[in-house]
Copies of this chain bind each other. A is one copy, B any other.
C-alpha cells in the first residue's frame, strides 16, 4: 500500500487555550484533530500539578502541507504571547491523504 506525505502539527498548550487552537483549525477548514491532557514544564513553569484548569493538553493535527503555514502562523500570532504554548511540525505518511485535505 502506498503511503503519502502529509504534515503533523503538534501543539502543547495550557488547557484553556485548547478552544482557541481548535477554533483556528476550524477557520482553516481543518476539522480533524486528536487531543489529550498532559503535564509539563517550560518557560511558564511547571504545569499540571494544581487546579484542573492549569493543566496542559497536547493537540495533534494531520494536515496537508498547504494549510500548515497559515495555521501555524495564526497560532503563533494570536496565542504565543499570552499562553503557555509550544508547537512543532513533523513529516509523516498516511494511507488516505484525501482524508486530511
Q: Which residues of chain A have a CB within 8 Å of any CB of chain B?
A: 1, 3, 6, 8, 10, 12, 22, 31-43, 56, 58, 60, 62, 69, 72-73, 76, 80, 86-96, 99
Contacts and interface: CB of A to CB of B under 8 A. Distances in A.
25 contacts: A1-B69, A1-B72, A3-B89, A10-B92, A12-B34, A12-B60, A22-B41, A32-B40, A32-B41, A33-B40, A34-B38, A34-B40, A34-B58, A35-B38, A35-B39, A36-B37, A43-B99, A62-B88, A72-B95, A80-B96, A86-B94, A88-B93, A89-B94, A90-B91, A90-B93
Given A31-B41, A40-B32, A76-B1, A86 B69 contact: no
Nearest to A76: B95
Nearest to A56: B34
Contacts of A32: 40-43, 86
Which of A41, A87, A90, A91 has the largest number of chain B CB atoms within 10 A? Answer: A41
Nearest to A75: B95
